[in-house]
Amino acid sequence: MSWQKSLSSTIGRKIMMSLSGILLILFLAGHVSGNMTLLMGKADAFNMYAHFMSTNPLVQVVANVFKLFFLAHIVYAIILTAQNKKARGGQAYKVTNKDGSQVSKYMGVLGSVIAVFLVVHLAQYWAVMHELRGEISTTTIDGVEMKDLYSVVAVSYANPMIVAAYVISMFVLAFHLWHGFASAFQTLGLNNKRYTPIIAFLGKAYSIIVPVLFGAIPVVMFLNS
Amino acid sequence: MAGKTINIKLKIWRQAGENKPGKFESYEVNDVSVDMSFLEMLDVLNENELKKGNDPIHFDHDCREGICGMCSLYINGKPHGPKHGITTCQLHMRTFNDGETIVVEPWRASAFPVLKDLVVDRTSFDRIMQAGGYVTVSTGGVPDANEIAIPKTVADEAMDAAQCIGCGACVAACKNASAMLFTSAKVSQLALLPQGGAERKRRALAMVEQHDAEGFGACTNTGACEAVCPKEISITHIARLNREFTRASFSGNETDYQN
Ligand code: HEM
Ligand code: SF4
Ligand code: FES
């Protein structure tokens, strides 16, 4: 079997799911660290960060790679979910068991909510930053003129509905990762008596800490607005 | 000998043949000895049905001691019933309460079509085995048992995998009807040992290819399979299969090189 053929096998597709998932985990770690500048109390810190992220050429390359992996993750999720549904067959059980990880049974649903969140999120900030939508003013920091994304964010987080939707989305993300983080390593064959307990612990820690940090931003900004 | 008996109600899936519509039928069996196995209880029910001139309920079985893998049955929402680590033939009626209604369904998966009532076609497993679940041996004299040194821990791990009886409970329980637990047990039992190691790459690729061709799903690491497996096969074997498959896919084989 050639490796091209291997990639379209059930395990090959799972490996793509897993690798793209791990990259997205790395991406979110970076994203949440950067966003912490929103909580520094000054608009400048975040605006400088946003300016750097939208102008640095290396960041552009990395961002495009992540976009590709996001797309791959979603495409493979759709293919695998359809394949698994077909394998299960048309006739459902009358009584069903509750064995195994319950969260893992809702990965597709949880992921779809994240996808919807992503679209709204990009429309709200990315599209505005790139002047595809809405209005954005400019600000001058240390003699450099840059866009005032901070104000765009601050205005949106003064709206309790947006804050609530954001927090709910972070719960969904937490559940997705509660299973996804450790699952990605099992898929890669990295199940080992010594490392699996560490991976499982890191997975639980990550899936609580990162969504909590993300979720804290709109809540704090709302309370300060 | 008047041991404890119970009366039970059953809802059993009846289906005249492959691709025929099926439905649940209700039955009652009275004075069931709690010492009977589940299959013996079905035998009693079938005797009653035969006396009434009805078509008996078809179900698979053979050894009735938990080693052949023929018995199946999805009982009250669980493959092989509510107990852990046993097959349907090892399940006793003492597990159930007097007056209880027990729902009995066949394994359900696209790759396990129902043939009649509770009997499903599991030859898809046979074809996965035929694809690579063996070692190519040049038969000769019987070698000395200790000629090839195998560490005890490795032999134990291979034996754990070799416990798989091919019953298909893993597929029946899996939300994706994936046969990864079965396939991984069959790959593991050979890959771990020196005799099986020689053909490990070809085997992993061929068995996974057949697994997919049969229409089994992809693993989502849900773990329902290991929870219901009568032989308690662990999903660590699935991780091993993933390693074997990845290594075989992306590394060269001796036969890949051209002279
Ligand atoms: C954009 C929408 C998303 C969708 C539709 C989605 C969908 C899915 C689905 C269906 C699975 C299960 C696949 C399987 O087990 O076979 C999955 C697994 C996973 N997802 Fe997502 N996901 C999304 C976003 C994310 C994000 C943002 C992350 C990370 C921050 C992520 C990380 C993971 C990981 C690590 C796995 C486990 C891979 C494995 O089981 O091997 N996903 N995703
Ligand atoms: S892995 Fe367990 S459940 Fe699956 S076929 Fe083998 S013995 Fe049956
Ligand atoms: S009849 Fe052989 S395992 Fe149950």
**What is the number of the ligand closest to the CA of B189?**
2
Tell me, what's the pLDDT at B255?
62
Mean pLDDT throughout B89-104?
Answer: 97
A99 phi/psi in degrees, rounded to 5: -85, 155
By C-alpha distance, which of B215, B207, B141, B208 is closest to B171?
B215
Mean pLDDT throughout B131-154?
Answer: 86
Decide if A93 is inside a domain: no
Lowest model confidence (mean pLDDT) among A96-105, A203-212, B239-248: A96-105
**In this structure, are B92 and B217 located in the same domain?**
no
Tell me, what's the pLDDT at A199?
97
Q: What is the dihedral of CA B48, B51, B53, B55, to 10 degrees?
A: 40
Q: Report CA(B167)–ligand 3 centroid distance (Å).
A: 8
Provide the pLDDT confidence category of residue A3 given band limits of 50, 70 and 90: confident
Ligand 3 atom with least separation from CA of B68: 2
Provide the pLDDT confidence category of residue A134 given band limits of 50, 70 and 90: confident
Within 13 Å, how many C-alpha atoms sit on residue B19's CB side? 0
Q: Which of B223, B227, B240 sits opposite A189 (nearest CB)?
A: B240
- The alpha carbon of A72 is separated from its chain's Cα centroid by a whole number of angstroms, namely 13
Exposure string (b/e) for A147-161, b if CB count within 10 Å is 16 or more? bbbbbbbbebbeeee
**Number of separate domains in chain B:** 2
Exposure string (b/e) for A109-125, b if CB count within 10 Å is 16 or more? ebbbbbeebeeeeeebb
Comparing B256 with B165, the larger pLDDT belongs to B165
Q: Which residues line ligand 2 (CB under 6 A)?
A: B 164-170, 181-182, 185, 229-231, 233
**Number of separate domains in chain A:** 1
Interface pTM (ipTM) of the complex? 0.92
Decide if B214 is inside a domain: yes
Mean pLDDT throughout B75-101?
Answer: 97
Mean pLDDT throughout A105-123?
Answer: 96
List, for residues A56-84, the tens digit of each pLDDT value.
Answer: 999 999 999 999 999 999 999 999 999 99
Decide if A209 is inside a domain: yes
List, for residues A176-186, the tens digit of each pLDDT value.
Answer: 999 999 999 99
Q: Report CA(B127)–ligand 1 centroid distance (Å).
A: 32
Q: Helix, strand, or coil here: A2? A: coil
Contact by Cβ (8 Å): B216, B109: yes
User: Which chain A residues have a beta carbon less than 8 Å from that of B206?
Assistant: 1
Cβ-based neighbours of A84, under 8 Å, separated by 6 or more? B175, B176, B177, B178, B217, B218, B220
A101 phi/psi in degrees, rounded to 5: -70, 120
Contact A1 B249 (CB under 8 A): yes
Provide the pLDDT confidence category of residue B257 given band limits of 50, 70 and 90: low
Decide if B138 is inside a domain: yes
Q: Could you tell me the residue range of the domain that residue B139 belongs to?
A: 122-257
What size, in residues, is chain B? Answer: 259
CA pair distance A92, A78, nearest whole angstrom: 21
By C-alpha distance, which of B249, B4, B187, B128 is closest to A4?
B249
Decide if B115 is inside a domain: no
CATH code for the domain of B234 = 1.10.1060.10
CA pair distance A194, B148, nearest whole angstrom: 28
Lowest model confidence (mean pLDDT) among A200-214, B169-183, B242-256: B242-256
